[in-house]
Amino acid sequence: MDRFTALTAFAKVVEQGSFARAADKLSLSTSAVSRHVAELEAHLSVRLLNRTTRRLSLTESGQAFYERCVQLLADLDEAEGSVRAATLVPRGTLRLTCAITFGILQQILTAFGQVSSSFQYLVNSWTTIIELLSIRKRLVAFEAAFEGRAQAEIELEHPLQP
């Protein structure tokens, strides 16, 4: 038995007041929803729902279990949402070396950094090709961050000021 599916089916049956409506909402057959609830009741060794041909009602145990079940499913949705949201937010450090004429980049990155607190940037600028070559000479070891290896720090004489 998949307990998550069984809990979801049980909660939806209670919310909808019928197995057929719950099955429609879950895109399952009525018999599948009924089977999930029956398996959950067997697993718990307790009757959760009183069923008649015309009516469906919660038992006392079913009411207590439903309240906990709803909270559990809400917590799970919240946890999934927070994980999804975390993957959508840019994080890490962006390192740029560019001509000083691209100084507008710093203003854009500053604004972006204020929106995303987990985003950092380092902008280094150069004014001549000689400066660029001296920067390149100071780079001892560089490995890509996405490969999970350390990056060498580059010290510059003329960083772009905010």
**Measured distance CA(106)–CA(88) in Å, rounded:** 23
DSSP 90: -
Q: Which numeric CATH code is attached to 3-87?
A: 1.10.10.10
For the ranges 7-16, 51-60, 109-118, which has the lowest average pLDDT?
Answer: 109-118
Structure token digits, residue 95: 């390192």
**Measured distance CA(57)–CA(48) in Å, rounded:** 9
SS3 6: helix
Taking residues 8-29, report their average pLDDT. Answer: 94
- β-pairing, 56-58 with 49-51? antiparallel
Contacts with 39 (C-beta within 8 Å, 6 or more apart), sequence order: 1, 6
Show me where the domains of the chain are located: 3-87, 92-147
pLDDT at 144: 39
Q: Which residue has the tokens 């429609």?
A: 24
Residues in the chain: 162
Model pLDDT for residues 54-107, shown as the tens digit of each residue: 889 999 999 999 999 999 999 999 998 888 776 666 667 766 666 665 556 666
Report the amino acid identity of residue 133.
L
CA dihedral 68, 72, 75, 77 (to 10 degrees): -130
The answer to whether residues 111 and 137 touch, using CB atoms and an 8 Å cutoff, is no
